[in-house]
Amino acid sequence: MSTTLARTSSTRFAPAAAVRRGLALMLMATALASPLLTPVPAQAQAQGLPDFTELVERVGPAVVNIRTTERPRTARGGLPEGAEEDMLEFFRRFGIPIPNAPGGNSPRRTPQPDEGPQRGGVGSGFILSADGFVMTNAHVVESADEVFVTLTDKREFKARVIGADKRTDVAIVKIDAAGLPFVRIGDVNRLKVGEWVMAIGSPFGLENTVTAGIVSAKARDTGDYLPLIQTDVAINPGNSGGPLINLRGEVVGINSQIYSRSGGFMGISFAIPIDEAIRVSEQLRATGRVVRGRIGVQIAAVGKDVAESIGLGKPTGALVQSVEAGGPSEKGGVEPGDIITKVDGRVVEKFGDLPRLIGATKPGQKVTLQVFRRGAYRDLAVTVVELEPAQPSRRASAPESAKPAAPVSALGLSVTDLSDAQKKELKVKGGVRVESADGAAARSGLREGDVILALDNTEVTGARQFETIAARVDKSKPVTALVRRGDWVNYIVIRPLATR
């Protein structure tokens, strides 16, 4: 019985197996005849991926290793002078967790006077011209007593720093040599997100290391004066100052920063756009420093809630938080609480655009600022002056207390008039002082001592007028107050108690 069953089973399925073999042969024949299903040779598959070998051969000789030394300067506690600051700056730039923070009990070695130059650091750079001008990061050569440049052919030169600009992190050094290989400069405007790029540098001191990736984003606001290029190219400490290169073999950026929680590469790197760096380098080569313009304001971003509440529409422009006394903006009529939306017709999309636009303006030149103030636009003429090192701002003393008025129930505020002396000290024409904040006002962040300069796009002149404005506020909608706290001015959105 079992033999029969086995034989029957064999006989029963034999035709099916034959059919399957026939179908398989037909499919194979169809695949060979169809251009869509024809197997693609491995060489053809690789044609879609970039080959960096030619780029490395072409650009590599123009990339250099930079080594710096710094003589020990003994300070309090046996630490070299500025050592903690330099180390903290290194950790900050590369996102490394700070070990042995100041105040810790870890032992530190005290340099001896007869030890001579000490190893300072290692970075990268690239040759701009055949006569020996080299571009790198300012933080690579900062505080260095000696700078040494090593070429790919192992020749080493002692370099001199022509100039360094900390605001853009660009520096130029010079070596005495001729006939050197140099890089070609690319057009950053042609650079596209998703485009392949390559980096050459000295991560952790490993010279002429090549890494590659793509452009992740452009115009990242991580610097005061530069919109940086974000990539996923592997960049580590020591890569600083090296070139970011496109597939045409052109330098499009200087590798400068990484985002990291461990100190190593985590997929996010930042490069200084080469067009901005070249503009800086030209000034450094000509005068050894960079001249920038300023207009004497402190600014902040405009939030979505604030933009909608004051009638600006979308969050754009730069909010003026304070105006320098006697500075260009004050002379031009700019007031705290203004939102600067254009400079000579150029739109300020985000607040980081303003310092770049003004910084690129020649001192002494007059510019027209379009500002949004209490629901309307107006143009103001301001003369740009030269940017100087930032001075610590003087914090205004707390205004004298006055007898509090009755609280405004809709907003949860109790306010009083400012005395003439307080107005003079604060350099304001009107406003009221917050004596107490409850409910909606407290939830919005208002507190005792704040000075309210405007409410619901209306300038506040005194406590009685403030109560009138507050009484007619639409209880179903948020209301915006222009508030001064110390030296700073900002908008605060108050959501009345009646709203949820």
Output the known binding site for substrate: 139, 169, 238-240
Distance CA 401, CA 424 (A): 15
- Nearby residues of 459 by Cβ (< 8 Å), 6 or more positions away: 374, 430, 453
Distance CA 367, CA 295 (A): 10
Looking at the DSSP assignment, which residues form a beta bridge with residue 484? 451, 489
Count the Cβ atoms, other than its own, within 10 Å of residue 86: 17
Which of these, 335, 332, 354, lies nearest to 343 by C-alpha position?
Answer: 354
Sign of CA dihedral 276, 281, 286, 289: positive
Q: Are 420 and 395 in contact (CB under 8 A)?
A: no
Q: Are 298 and 267 in contact (CB under 8 A)?
A: no
Nearest-10 Cα torsion for 187, 193, 194, 199? 50
Q: How far apart are the first and last CA of the chain?
A: 83
Distance CA 135, CA 142 (A): 14
- Nearby residues of 387 by Cβ (< 8 Å), 6 or more positions away: 291, 292, 293, 294, 359, 363
Distance CA 445, CA 490 (A): 11
Q: Are strands 184-185 and 250-258 parallel, antiparallel or unpaired?
A: parallel
Give the number of C-alpha atoms closer than 13 A to the C-alpha of residue 161, restricted to the C-beta side: 21
Active site residues: 139, 169, 240
